[in-house]
Amino acid sequence: MIEIYTDGSSRGNPGPAGWGCVIFFNDKSIELGGSFECATNNQMELTAVSNAFSFCIENKIKNNEVIIFSDSKGQCVQAINEWIYNWEKRDWKGSNRKPIKNTDLYKEILQKKRKIISLGNTVLFKYVEAHVGVHSNERADDIAYAFASGEIPDLAK
């Protein structure tokens, strides 16, 4: 099993922004993160997921259960577990027939999710409440916040 905690942060919405991931893989913890000059919090939440998926693909994760924990219930957990397939069928429009926001990121995530599944993995997003002491979620948040604040945190490799 691979466990991944993701988070995003922006200083202003939009504003300077960052994303962070904590990945538990092969009995070790690996941390990823990055920054953008100007983005929204939701864009960073999705960017963290996309980068976590890239990690799985680059490391040729096969025949595993990949669980992504996010404190972004609507933008990540529900959207990527459920809604994304209907959006794709409706040409990336919501049930209100209006274009969904961040379509480019959702398309990228869906493509990567399908690649991970094609390698024999299962992918499941789970909601974790923010700021309630879940250590790995707090760490992903700290990484994202540091990058959004112009700092470069020490990341576990």
Q: Could you tell me if 157 and 99 are in contact, meaning their C-beta atoms sit under 8 angstroms apart?
A: no
Task: Give the pLDDT score at 131.
Answer: 87
**Which fold does the domain 2-148 belong to in CATH?**
Nucleotidyltransferase; domain 5 (3.30.420)
Q: Is 8 a catalytic residue?
A: yes
Give the active site residue among 37, 131, 135, 154.
Answer: 131
- The one catalytic residue in 33, 45, 58, 91 is 45
The active-site residue out of 20, 31, 33, 71 is 71
Regarding pTM above 0.75, the answer is: yes
Q: Which parts of the chain register pLDDT below 50?
A: none
- pLDDT at residue 59 in the model: 95
Examine the residue annotation and report whether 7 is marked as an active-site residue of this protein. Answer: yes
Under 8 Å between Cβ of 19 and 152: no
Give the tens place of pLDDT for each residue, 41-84. 999 999 999 999 999 999 999 999 999 999 999 999 999 999 99
Instruction: Yes or no: say if 43 and 76 are a contact pair by the CB < 8 Å rule.
Output: no
Residue 58 CB neighbours (<10 A): 8
